[in-house]
Amino acid sequence: MAAPKVAVVGAGVVGLSTALCVAETCPSCSVMVLSDQFSPNTTSDVAAGILIPHTYPGTPIHVQKQWFKETFTYLFAISNSAEASEAGIHLVSGWQVFKNTPKEELPFWSDVVLGFRPMSEAELQKFPQHRFGQAFTTLKCDCPPYLLWLEKRLKATGVQMCTRKVADLWELHSEYNIVVNCAGIGAHQLVGDEKLFPVRGQVLKVHAPWVKNFIRDGDGLTYIYPGIHRVTLGGTREKESWSLSPDPGTTKDIFDRCCSLEPSLRGAQEMKVKVGLRPSRWCVRLQREVLSQGGVKLPVVHNYGHGAGGFSVHRGTAKEAARLVRECIAALQGSTSKAKL
């Protein structure tokens, strides 16, 4: 069989990292990223990019932990390299604070992040409305720089990128041997997945260079995540809302909530408001499927539905998607050699 042609649909963090894993682990393939939008116009550009996992109820915890660990290890190595600044990856320490002690004092990811421990009384004094807290160090991606860094890595590996809206995965069958679907919330229409729904998120990006530690309310709704250039203030979780327009009332509410956690934010400047639709699902759809029409087959690997935690697990799910692509190649090679017999 000639070099298998692989199309990856989608250029958010999931599509770009999946294309990179495929190119790295299947060097005989020719890989093309097809997407109607690239950075800075994807949901991934809006994300805060902190590595704190979101839990997928339909995915076994050990699998989620493995995805998170692989992603943490990968980004930790970048943060320790000369690439860190260009890739927008850095370590950040901070606190997750709770008004009441949570049922689960040790989340499943507590031994993956660095230095996880209960907050001391002295630290808790900073948060008079909260009774319990966890301190740890994790990683943060500044999302647009990280996406551009991934694109640069892809070009260096020989992967091509093309702006194209795909109306139906089947339209790719005559040009590609394998299609990888990383369309995020776009998969709702692209493959008619009714289990996929948007969870709208609005965030503020502000200039507040004195804020060095992250602060996250335990319910995950209010957060302050300092990046290299801007601090992300959040947020909202609006299930089934497709609106991409910023809401001024929500902006004020987010800002007030964040200022009650970190009053010095009242002096923040240069506020920008962003909205994104989290591609949410009971579990990430990470599986093979074979489309077939009139005896012609098209192997597809789905990798979408990362909801509120795409940055936290992207490398782990990209590695698994690349493994599924290798299975598709082996199946295609098997059928080609059988046909020759």
Count Cβ neighbours within 10 Å for each residue of 110-127 and write b for 16 or more, e otherwise.
eebbeebeebeeeebeeb
The whole-angstrom separation of Cα 323 and Cα 306 is 18
Residue from 186, 226, 299, 316 touching ligand FAD (CB under 6 A): that is 186
Residues in binding contact with ligand FAD, number by CB under 6 A: 41
284 is in an annotated binding site: no
- DSSP result, 158-197: T-EEEE---S-GGGGTTT-SEEEE--GGGHHHHS--TT-E
The whole-angstrom separation of Cα 49 and Cα 238 is 19
Cβ at position 235, least distance to ligand FAD in Å: 5
- Show the binding pattern over residues 241-280: x = contacts ligand FAD (CB under 6 A), - = does not: -----------------------------------x-xx-
Q: Note whether 133 binds ligand FAD by CB under 6 A.
A: no
44 is in an annotated binding site: yes
Q: Note whether 304 binds ligand FAD by CB under 6 A.
A: yes
- Show the binding pattern over residues 46-85: x = contacts ligand FAD (CB under 6 A), - = does not: xxxxx-----------------------------------
What DSSP character marks residue 263? G
- DSSP result, 107-168: -TTTTTSEEEEEPPHHHHTT-TT-SEEEEEEEEEE-HHHHHHHHHHHHHHTT-EEEE---S-
Cβ at position 236, least distance to ligand FAD in Å: 8
Q: Using CB under 6 A, which residues numbered 201 to 230 contact ligand FAD?
A: 201, 203
Cβ at position 293, least distance to ligand FAD in Å: 19
Which residues is 299 bridged to in the sheet?
Answer: 290
Q: Note whether 188 binds ligand FAD by CB under 6 A.
A: no
H/E stretch holding 115: strand 114-118
Among the listed residues 55, 51, 47, the one whose alpha carbon sits nearest the alpha carbon of residue 12: 47
278 is in an annotated binding site: yes
Cβ at position 181, least distance to ligand FAD in Å: 9
Residues annotated in a binding site for FAD: 43-44, 166
Positions that interact with ligand FAD (CB under 6 A): 9-15, 34-37, 42-44, 46-50, 165-166, 182-186, 190, 201, 203, 235, 276, 278-279, 304, 306-312
